[in-house]
């Protein structure tokens, strides 16, 4: 694997019975970039991502994530990645601090380390007042930000975000993307799926999936040039309509 690439997929395929959810996709993700993984609902984004994070075995093809093989070393991959699902995945019935402690704990951090990181996280997000509140009582936007920070606790090399801004207001989305930028700037690769096309503009490179296949892959600027349109929204519409 090229040192510059943290994800390499070759003809990665996933079939459910007769249905091919992901059809032989090949792509590379460079270290430190924000890689947008776009597609309509049901295009196969989440399925592809699940193969990369080691919770779904590919039907065929190859993929390496942080130098580890998705077939044989999924647990090593898990050590080196963070994941935030589209289905919000902190525990509603635990407080902010307890969630941090728990996830820090199962990633094998020491208690003292967790405490220190929890403080830093609470400071950064300005959560002093709600740190002892149950996560369930917080607004969705806050939850998403906390979930994102929790996914970064163990300092992963890549963070996978599955539609992280679904259902949150524009201001929070903006703040969320600032967090993403900061993370990428610090050297963590960000792999993000979304169907908000304005968000696609923020990515370094985007791939667009249609019916299980990657139909386009380049920087937003290049893609707009290639399709001779003004926005990513139009690129997407052109592709999705065939």
Partner 1 sequence: MKTILFIIQKEFKQIFRNKGMLPIIFVLPLLQLVILSNAATFEVKNIKFSYIDNDNTSFSRALIDKFEASTYFKVLDKFESQKTAKQAMLKGDVDVVLEIPNHFEKDLITNKKTNLLVAINAIDGAAAGVENVYINQIVQQFNKNVIVDLKKSMVITPSTNTELLKTIDSIPLFWYNKTLNYKTFMVPGILVLLVTMISLFLSGMNIVREKEIGTLEQINVTPIKKYQFIVGKLFPFWVIGFGLLTIGLILGKLIFNVPMVGSIALIYFYTAIYLLVLLGMGFFISNFTDTQQQAMFIAWFFVVIFILMSGLFTPIESMPEWAQFLTEFNPIRYFVEVMRMVMLKGASFTDILPQFVKTTVYALVMNSLAVWSYRKTS
- Report the alpha-carbon distance of residue 196 to residue 205 in Å, rounded: 15
Q: How far is the CB of 171 from partner 1 (least distance, A)?
A: 25
Q: How far is the CB of 79 from partner 1 (least distance, A)?
A: 4
Tokens found for residue 40: 């309509």
Q: How far is the CB of 93 from partner 1 (least distance, A)?
A: 5
Which C-beta is closer to partner 1: that of 70 or that of 210?
Answer: 70
- Residues 176/210, Cβ–Cβ less than 8 Å: no
Query: 207 in helix, strand or coil?
Result: strand
Q: How far is the CB of 183 from partner 1 (least distance, A)?
A: 17
DSSP 212: T
Which C-beta is closer to partner 1: that of 71 or that of 181?
Answer: 71
State the sign of the Cα–Cα–Cα–Cα dihedral 65, 54, 83, 178.
positive
Alpha helices in 69-169 (DSSP H): 74-80, 96-106, 111-125, 140-151
Which C-beta is closer to partner 1: that of 90 or that of 192?
Answer: 90
Which C-beta is closer to partner 1: that of 85 or that of 233?
Answer: 85
Q: How far is the CB of 8 from partner 1 (least distance, A)?
A: 19
Which C-beta is closer to partner 1: that of 26 or that of 79?
Answer: 79
Q: Name the residues that contact partner 1, by CB under 8 A.
A: 53-57, 74-76, 78-79, 81, 83, 85, 87-94, 98, 101-103, 105-108
As a residue count, the chain comes to 242
Closest CA to 153 of 96, 109, 186: 109
Closest CA to 154 of 109, 91, 184: 109
């Amino acid at each position: 694997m090229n040192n510059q690439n943290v994800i390499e997929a070759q003809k990665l395929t996933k079939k459910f019975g007769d249905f091919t959810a992901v059809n032989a996709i090949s792509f590379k993700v460079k270290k430190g970039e924000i890689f947008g993984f776009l597609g309509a609902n049901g295009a196969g984004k989440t399925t592809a991502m699940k193969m990369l994070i080691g919770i779904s075995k590919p039907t065929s093809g190859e993929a390496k994530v942080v130098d580890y093989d998705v077939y044989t070393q999924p647990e090593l991959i898990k050590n080196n990645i963070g994941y935030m699902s589209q289905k919000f995945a902190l525990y509603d019935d635990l407080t902010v601090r307890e969630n941090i402690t728990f996830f820090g704990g199962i990633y094998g951090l020491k208690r003292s380390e967790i405490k220190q990181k929890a403080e830093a996280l609470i400071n950064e997000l300005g959560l002093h007042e709600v740190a002892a509140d149950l996560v369930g009582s917080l607004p969705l936007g806050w939850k998403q930000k906390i979930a994102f920070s929790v996914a970064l606790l163990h300092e992963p090399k890549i963070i996978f975000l599955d539609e992280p801004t679904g259902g949150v207001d524009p201001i929070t989305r903006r703040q969320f993307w600032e967090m993403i930028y900061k993370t990428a700037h610090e050297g963590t690769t960000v792999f993000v799926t979304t169907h908000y096309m304005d968000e696609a503009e923020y990515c370094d490179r985007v791939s667009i999936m249609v019916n299980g296949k990657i139909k386009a892959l380049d920087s937003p600027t290049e893609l707009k040039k290639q399709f001779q349109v003004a926005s990513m929204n139009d690129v997407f519409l052109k592709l999705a309509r065939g």
